Chains A and B, each alone.
Chain A
Amino acid sequence: MIGGLFIYNHKGEVLISRVYRDDIGRNAVDAFRVNVIHARQQVRSPVTNIARTSFFHIKRSNIWLAAVTKQNVNAAMVFEFLYKMCDVMTAYFGKISEENIKNNFVLIYELLDEILDFGYPQNSETGALKTFITQQGIKGQHQTKEEQSQITSQVTGQIGWRREGIKYRRNELFLDVLESVNLLMSPQGQVLSAHVSGRVVMKSYLSGMPECKFGMNDKIVIDKQGKGGTTDDPGKSELGGSGKQSIAIDDCTFHQCVRLSKFDSERSISFIPPDGEYELMRYRTTKDIILPFRVIPLVREVGRTKLEVKVVIKSNFKPSLLAQKIEVRIPTPLNTSGVQVICMKGKAKYKASENAIVWKIKRMAGMKESQISAEIELLPTNDKKKWARPPISMNFEVPFAPSGLKVRYLKVFESKLNYSDHDVIKWVRYIGRSGIYETRC
């Protein structure tokens, strides 16, 4: 179990220190600073063992969060908790920065008392927390006894993430499928590794205690239906217009509101949603990924002092769709002394501080092609080492899911209040972003 939790700024100064167990001494704070933050070699492992004490850390911009324990804990649990902690803090005061943490330290201690008890993680649902940890000071006078007892029953009850008696005039829900596609490609265009990690984020404004059911084109579900169901099912999905009928999900995790027993038995995702924004599920796929862009590099060394680079990018999706925020990053050798760039579209610039040429294009439609060529002048050095040729990386945003995931339905049932599935306004949006999208050159 977590023995203590520390938050440091980039200099290694302690901003927050909360010790839950006696086996964690004061020196643990310094041990982490000395051995990780100020280590000579950058520490890359997220778990560090110092004098039989384990430190689990994550970094958010310049802030280090470290959980400490002397016991043999479940590391995945600790990291899940740390991420959750970040989510909670973001929900309360926005961006996690030194400034914000210093300004909200009382609140953070209050939160830490609530979501960890003797090192055991407790309810870390923002919605629930917000009902009784508020930033407006003590509200006790204004709260009626009824409200207080309601909070108690919610926090201790079966459905800790949603309180009763929520009412909206308009029942609305927003569903975002956010995916990030990762790729490593050889110079010849062979895919060396590719995977998509995606999230389904939901924002619900629904009255009462609605029961929801979420369906997507999961291969197992579709196959099962295809076998037992009617024949016109596949025809239907073809009408939907997507090239793929179903996708194979490698693994997925759900928000705590999803009934796992039902998912295990019927593979249906049913749940009572929390109020407001939350992450319904996370998943990962590796098969049949649609790669939105193809990068074709061409690097030619002309003597010892010159390098010619030509990069072509091709967009590989429906012409009607528009990709946005495209950025290609072409690394330059360490002894670059001057760069000339010509590009057909967008803007390109040599950024010396990053040792790269950065080419930005605002928008690009599908099935198009664009090209950049650069001449790099090199300074002759007495170093015998050859340039390692790091891969060309790319950033973009596309309005579809590269994994091929489709939301088939999201049904809402609320038996007590009289609104039906048809009365709920539903919005679905797909966003595909680049993760680590690299092509070797």
Chain B
Amino acid sequence: MPAVSKGDGMRGLAVFISDIRNCKSKEAEIKRINKELANIRSKFKGDKALDGYSKKKYVCKLLFIFLLGHDIDFGHMEAVNLLSSNKYTEKQIGYLFISVLVNSNSELIRLINNAIKNDLSSRNPTFMCLALHCIANVGSREMAEAFAGEIPRILVAGDTMDSVKQSAALCLLRLYKTSPDLVLMGEWTSRVVHLLNDQHMGVVTAAISLITCLSQKNPDEFKTCVSLAVSRLSRIVSSASTDLQDYTYYFVPAPWLSCKLLRLLQCYPPPEDGAVKGRLVECLETILNKAQEPPKSKKVQHSNAKNAILFEAISLIIHYDSEPNLLVRACNQLGQFLQHRETNLRYLALESMCTLASSEFSHEAVKTHIETVINALKTERDVSVRQRAADLLYAMCDRSNSKQIVAEMLSYLETADYSIREEMVLKVAVLAEKYAVDYSWYVDTILNLIRIAGDYVSEEVWYRVIQIVINRDDVQGYAAKTVFEALQAPACHENMVKVGGYILGEFGNLIAGDPRSSPLVQFNLLHSKFHLCSVPTRALLLSAYIKFINLFPETKSTIQEVLRSDSQIRNSDVELQQRAVEYLKLSSIASTDVLATVLEEMPPFPERESSILAKLKKKKGPGAVSVNELEEGKREGGELNGGGERGDSSAIAGSNASTPSPSADLLGLRTGPPVTAAAPSAGSLLVDVFSEAGVNDDGFLRDLEPPTESSDSLLAEGPGDSDSAPPSVVSEDPATPLPESNELLNKFVCKNNGVLFENQLLQIGIKSEYRQNLGRMYLFYGNKTSVQFITFTTTVTCPGELQSQLNVQSKTVEPLIEGGAQVQQVINIECLTDFSEAPLLNIKFRYGGALQNLTLKLPVTINKFFQPTEMASHDFFQRWKQLSLPQQEAQKIFKANHAMDTEVLKAKLLGLGMALLENVDPNPENFVCAGVIQTKAQQVGSLLRLEPNAQAQMYRLTVRSSKDTVSKRLCELLAEQF
């Protein structure tokens, strides 16, 4: 049948689809599809030539079947054939099939790419558009490889139609997003930027999306777009609503374009050029003015478009954060929206206000809306809006209104939605701590918090209360009194019991004078809660009891009775049982003096960032809000310090990122005595006390540790090491170094001095110097115990190949090290040729009769023999090019292990031994270094280039040197350092 007569109706397809729709069951549908597939297969069999129409029809059917969820494994060839058709509809179906069902089949991809190329070079705009759409829809890497060069040309060519330009811009955007490395804009940059001046609004709208994306990656290259964008924006804003005809949407001129322009501007700081800036400010004012005008239409689309521009403008104002006038106006405008009947507007207003509150200019203005916001928190129907209101309250809180806000949040907490309760609790806890003027208020607030929403009070919150109470003498008595009262409630939350147990255990004596809270009453009160609590709480209570014995000797018999009871001393839980046994023994054996020392009041906690704040940040996730919070934290710090005891010093420090959080300043405890002072003394005492009972003191000590975060440095280095080290120390095989020795080795790549190794017996310090191909290393062996080490011997060996590469000579050490003494050993090293292994240091000695044997890697690495070489940019690149053989280069792309701080990076690279060359690389972010490795046999020149990528938190490290093994080894060593 002739295809022409049928037109484009594709009746067969319509019939097929209606058949499928009429199927009564899934089985019937599958049957129908199988039948159709068999039919299409017989049609595509190859011995018949199909006309374009039927090809199109069958490909359509296949597409439909695929979209119903069935596998299609044929018909690709026919679809590709359709691409070369001259009919729009056939081409379109072909492209549709390809973009939905393409797979990276090599031969087909070649054909498809060919067809696309033909269409791109044709003069027919619709065909070009189809091809561009297909590229964008597939958006694969292969596509990018094939067309990334072609599309920018189409985009900026003078004779391209507007519609094609639009498609090309969006297609390029898509390719850039999938494989940014393939889309190189270098030469096109300025011409792309000038698309902002295009006559056609559609082209501008498409181009601006592309430019926004590109300028986020490399802002400098696209800097010129700012002034263009500003002028474009001012033209739109000042135009009458009828000027733009097609692009006027419900009386608002080009709302989408305006929003995108404003968003583009948010990628850049405020323009420096006064004229441009003036124009922009004028624009923003006009937008704010327009918001005040009566609406031109009652339709919701009109107000939506207008508000979209307004909100985008406000976020630009917040982004600039430099125009107090505009900020206050924006704030007032948002204030109006707070009471708007549209829920979405209220939500957005609250959200924007949150960010406004963090600006110093508008903070006061935001504060004027406090009543409205509190009202919103109480009466709003939508939970997400309530959440925003809570956020805003948190953001606008400062010293002047903290009491009111905390009180409001507390009262809201009782009825708050379950999903936001935990966050609310954290916020209240942070605010209460941050703005606490007197600590009795703080303690009251937190106890209230536990009472109202105990389930949502996380560990961090009550840890923090205890830290603060312990660190502040003046509040301890009050805290003890308050928890005592709180515990008297018939039902109280387990967290309350924990806080109560801890505080009464520490400071119960402060309220013992009152007969109503005599020691026995306190104990009975605590013990009445004991049976209702979980195991960890019971363990804490047991510790509180033993502290009671120390504080009030009169309770001793009662408590011993309790500890002795079967439910404690034979408890099925190991932890509880151990505590009961140990505490009972401790209380009966130790004299009061010993008890008093062991169970001394907890020493003050070292200051650190509030754990609650850290948790709150974590909860928020890496979004915009957390950044705001950080900034805000800083600002609050400054403000607070004004009223604090040592305002000046910490106000300066407040601007430094490494300062502890402001809350730390507030407590005025930065120089508090370290906890370590108390721990060792207690430890040695405990050893005596328990020599009979034979109980491991470590576990015990750790139980008594205050509740801290696990990352506490004290805990990690102290008992942690002593647990793990002994088994490896006594390992018999001298050839295998400690598992952590590689790590130790990496520590010394960029430095020459430091502590090489430490366990509870031995500390090894190291000091080394290198010149040319020679090095000298001083090892200091320190005996940390009070017992002498005998038959102390050390041997340095070079395993395997290293023997011929490195010449190591060591002087012998004295075989006896007295307790607490230190001996020194000198090792001379000569580098014969380049090497990659490290020499091994084996240490043997007897400690109290037991043979100790341990093997370490000596931190001798190839880079130690570097001689720095200074050279100019020109020389550097010349040499770089000379070392262009593939084996001479080693490259590694890796993730940053540490923060990407430029100064730290520089210090590390200098420590490496190479010369750090300034002003060589065109990109100032990058580092280049040069140096010569001196060995006896030869000199190996090496060049290095390190390219940090702050966004991705990745580095690319390239090392070129005249010897391949050196490049490789250097690359390996360095990759661990950053």
Question: Which residues of A are in contact with B by a Cβ distance under 8 Å?
Answer: 10, 42, 62, 334-338, 352-355, 377, 379-383, 385
Q: Which of A337, A355, A377 is most buried by chain B, counting CB atoms within 10 A of its CB?
A: A337
Asked if A379 contacts B34 (CB within 8 A), the reply is no
Q: Does B41 contact A336, Cβ atoms closer than 8 Å?
A: yes
Q: Is B105 a contact partner of A337 (Cβ separation < 8 A)? A: no
Contact with B74, one of A338, A352, A355, A381 (Cβ below 8 angstroms) = A381
Q: Does B38 contact A (CB under 8 A)?
A: yes
- Are A10 and B31 in touch, CB under 8 angstroms? no
- Confirm or deny: B401 has a beta carbon within 8 angstroms of a beta carbon on chain A: no
Known: A10-B25, A336-B38, A379-B74. A353 touches B31 (CB 8 A): yes
| Closest Cβ–Cβ distance, residue B629 to chain A (whole Å) | 39
In the complex the two chains form, what is the Cα distance from A352 to B25 in whole Å? Answer: 18
The one of A42, A337, A353, A385 that contacts B41, using a Cβ cutoff of 8 Å = A337
Which B20-45 residues have a C-beta within 8 angstroms of A? Answer: 24-26, 31-32, 34-35, 37-39, 41-42, 44-45
Instruction: Choose from A62, A338, A379, A382 the contact partner of B24 (Cβ within 8 Å).
Output: A62
- Give A352 to B71 CA distance when docked, in angstroms: 16
Q: Which residue of B lies closest to A356 (CB)?
A: B34
Within 8 A of A (CB), among B508-541: none
The reply to whether B31 and A379 contact each other, CB–CB distance below 8 Å, is: no
A42, A338, A382: the one contacting B76 at CB < 8 Å is A382
* Chain A residues whose CB sits within 8 angstroms of the CB of B74 once the complex forms: 335, 379-383
Q: How far is the CA of A380 from the CA of B25 in the complex (A)?
A: 31
Please name all residues of chain A whose beta carbon is closer than 8 Å to the beta carbon of B41 when the two chains form the complex. 335-337, 379
Could you name 23 residue pairs across A and B whose Cβ atoms are closer than 8 Å? A10-B24, A10-B25, A62-B25, A334-B73, A335-B73, A335-B74, A337-B38, A337-B45, A338-B45, A353-B32, A353-B38, A354-B34, A355-B38, A379-B41, A379-B46, A379-B74, A381-B73, A382-B73, A382-B74, A382-B103, A382-B105, A382-B108, A383-B73
CB contact under 8 A between A352 and B38, given known A377-B45, A382-B105:
yes
Asked if B73 and A337 sit within 8 Å, CB to CB, the answer is no
Which positions 459-490 of chain B face chain A at CB distance < 8 Å? none
Inter-chain CA distance A381–B40, complex, in Å, is 13
Q: Per-residue CB proximity of B448-461 to A under 8 Å, as 1/0?
A: 00000000000000
Q: Do A353 and B34 form a contact, CB below 8 Å, given A10-B25, A338-B45?
A: yes
B759 to chain A, nearest CB (A): 54
A434 to chain B, nearest CB (A): 21
Contacts of B25 in A (CB 8 A): 10, 62
Is the contact region of chain B dominated by helix, strand, or loop, or is it mixed?
Answer: helix
In the assembled complex, how far is the CB of residue B630 from the closest CB belonging to chain A, in whole angstroms?
A: 43
Interface positions of B (Cβ within 8 A of A): 24-26, 31-32, 34-35, 37-39, 41-42, 44-46, 71, 73-74, 76, 103, 105, 108
A354-B31 in contact given A337-B42, A383-B73 (Cβ < 8 Å): yes
Q: How far is the CA of A379 from the CA of B31 in the complex (A)?
A: 20
Bound complex: CA of A382 vs CA of B103, how far in Å?
Answer: 10
Closest 9 pairs (CB-CB, A-B): A352-B38, A383-B73, A353-B35, A353-B31, A337-B41, A381-B73, A337-B45, A381-B74, A352-B35
CA A42 to CA B29, docked complex, whole Å: 14
With CB as the reference atom, state the residue of chain B lying closest to A337.
Answer: B41
Q: Name A379's closest neighbour in chain B (CB-CB).
A: B41
Which residue of chain A lies nearest to B108 when distances are taken between CB atoms in the complex? A382
What residue of chain A has the Cβ atom nearest to residue B44's Cβ? Answer: A379
Cα distance A377–B38 in the bound complex, in angstroms: 11
- The main secondary structure of chain A at its interface with chain B is loop
A352 proximity list for chain B (CB < 8 A): 34-35, 37-39
A72 to chain B, nearest CB (A): 30
> Once the chains are docked, how many angstroms separate the CA of A335 from the CA of B72?
10
Shortest CB distance A307–B (Å): 14
> How many Å lie between the Cα of A280 and that of B32 in the bound state?
42
Q: Which residues of A contact B108 (CB under 8 A)?
A: 382
* B34: chain A residues within 8 A (beta carbon): 352-355
- Chain A residues whose C-beta falls within 8 Å of the C-beta of B103 in the assembled complex: 382
Q: Hey, which chain B residues are within 8 Å of A379, CB to CB?
A: 41, 44-46, 74
Partner of B42, one of A338, A380, A382, A383: A338
Interface centre among A334, A353, A383 (most CB of B within 10 A): A353
Shortest distance between the CB of B375 and any CB in chain A (Å): 36
- Chain B residues positioned under 8 Å from A353 (CB to CB): 31-32, 34-35, 38
**Given contact pairs A334-B73, A337-B44, A381-B74, a sample of 12 additional A-B residue pairs in the complex whose CB atoms are under 8 Å apart:** A335-B41, A336-B38, A336-B41, A352-B39, A353-B34, A353-B35, A377-B45, A379-B44, A379-B46, A381-B73, A382-B74, A382-B105
> In the complex the two chains form, what is the Cα distance from A379 to B74 in whole Å?
8
B24: chain A residues within 8 A (beta carbon): 10, 62
Residues of chain A lying within 8 A (CB to CB) of residue B26: 42
Q: How far is the CA of A411 from the CA of B745 in the complex (A)?
A: 97
CB distance from A327 to the nearest CB of B (A): 17
Which B residue sits closest to A385, measured CB to CB?
B73
Q: Which of A42, A335, A352 has the most CB of B within 10 A?
A: A352
Q: Which residue of A lies closest to B38 (CB)?
A: A352
Residues of B within 8 A of A377 (CB): 45
Among B39, B73, B103, residue most surrounded by chain A Cβ atoms (within 10 Å): B73
Q: What B residues does A354 contact at CB under 8 A?
A: 31, 34
Chain A residues near B38 (CB, 8 Å)?
Answer: 336-337, 352-353, 355
B39 contact set on A, CB distance < 8 A: 352
Chain B CB within 10 A, most for which of A42, A62, A379: A379
CA gap between A7 and B902 in the complex, in Å: 71
Complex Cα distance A354/B39, Å? Answer: 13
How long is the Cα–Cα vector from A377 to B35 in the complex, in angstroms?
16
| Distance in angstroms between the alpha carbons of A75 and B770 in the assembled complex | 82
Q: Which residue of A lies closest to B31 (CB)?
A: A353
With a cutoff of 8 Å between Cβ atoms, the chain A residues found around residue B44 in the complex are 337, 379
Smallest Cβ-Cβ distance to B45: which chain A residue: A337
A405 vs B29: C-alpha distance when bound (angstroms): 42
Chain B residues, CB < 8 A from A334 = 37, 73
What is the chain A residue whose CB lies nearest that of B42?
A337
Residues of chain B within 8 A (CB-CB) of A355 are: 34, 38
* Max count, chain A CB within 10 A of own CB: residue among B25, B38, B42, B46: B38
Q: How long is the Cα–Cα vector from A337 to B37 in the complex, in angstroms? A: 9
Q: Residues of A contacting B76 with CB < 8 Å? A: 382
In this complex, what residue of A is CB-closest to B77? A382
Give complex CA distance A382, B42 in Å: 17
Inter-chain contacts of B32 with A (CB < 8 A): 353
Please indicate the chain A residues that have their CB under 8 angstroms from the CB of B42 in the complex.
337-338
* Cβ distance B336 to chain A, nearest Cβ, rounded Å: 43
Q: Residue of A at shortest CB range from B105? A: A382
Contacts of A381 in B (CB 8 A): 73-74
A385: B residues at CB distance < 8 A: 73
The complex places the Cα of A264 from the Cα of B44 at a distance, in Å, of 67
Assembled-state Cα–Cα distance A385/B73 (Å): 10
Q: Which residues of A contact B73 (CB under 8 A)?
A: 334-335, 381-383, 385
Query: Which chain A residue has the least Cβ–Cβ distance from B41?
Result: A337
CB contacts (< 8 Å) of A383 on chain B: these are 71, 73-74
In the complex, what residues of B have CB within 8 A of residue A337's CB?
38, 41-42, 44-45
Name the residue of chain B whose CB is nearest to the CB of A384.
B73
Q: Nearest Cβ distance between residue B255 and chain A, in whole angstroms?
A: 40
What is the CA–CA distance of A379 and B26 in the complex, to the nearest angstrom? 26
Chain A residues with CB below 8 A from B37, complex form: 334, 352
Contacts of A42 in B (CB 8 A): 26
| B-side contacts of A380, CB under 8 Å | 74
Chain B proximity of A383: nearest CB distance (Å): 4
Bound-state Cα–Cα, A5 to B182, Å? 62
Q: How far is the CB of A302 from chain B (nearest CB, A)?
A: 16
Q: Which residue of B lies closest to A9 (CB)?
A: B24
Give chain A residues whose Cβ lies under 8 Å from the Cβ of B46: 379
- Docked Cα-Cα span, A377 to B71, in Å, equals 20
Cα distance, A306 to B871, chains bound together (Å): 72
A92 CA to B41 CA, complexed, in Å: 48
Closest approach, in angstroms, between the C-beta of B29 and any C-beta of chain A?
Answer: 11
B40 to chain A, nearest CB (A): 9
B33 to chain A, nearest CB (A): 8
